């Protein structure tokens, strides 16, 4: 009876050890924070660039057109007309 009990305890101990090793492997995979952080950073930057391409670039085109129109008006009205008048 005592031998059977010790064999069962040994099997339980071996099963627990195998289970702990498997759990440790899972934890190492989950705890690889640097790899997860790097991938999330790359994905975040890519999403940011895509949003900038669709939102900011058309707005910058409108802004640049407005600035150039204002500069042309200012140059012809103020600088060319007042400072360097030609007859």
Tens of pLDDT along 55-65?
888 888 889 99
In the prediction, which pLDDT does 67 show? 94
The pLDDT tens digits of the residues spanning 10-56 come to: 777 777 777 777 776 665 555 555 556 677 788 889 999 888 888 88
What is the distance, to the nearest Å, from the Cα of residue 36 to the centroid of all Cα atoms in its chain? 11
User: Given this model, what pLDDT does residue 81 score?
Assistant: 78
Phi-psi sector, 63: left (phi>0), alpha (psi -120 to 50), beta: alpha
More confident residue, 84 or 65: 65
Q: Which residues of 12-45 are buried (b: 16+ CB within 10 A; e: fewer)?
A: eeeeeeeeeeeeeeeeeeeeeeeeeeeeeeeeee
């Amino acid at each position: 009876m005592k031998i059977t009990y010790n064999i069962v305890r040994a099997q339980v101990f071996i099963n627990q050890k195998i289970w702990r090793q498997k759990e440790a492997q899972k934890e190492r995979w989950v705890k690889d924070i640097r790899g997860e952080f790097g991938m999330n950073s790359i994905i975040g930057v890519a999403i940011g660039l895509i949003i900038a391409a669709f939102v900011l670039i058309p707005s910058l085109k409108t802004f640049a057109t407005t600035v150039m129109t204002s500069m042309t008006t200012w140059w012809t009205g103020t600088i060319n007309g007042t400072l360097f008048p030609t007859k």
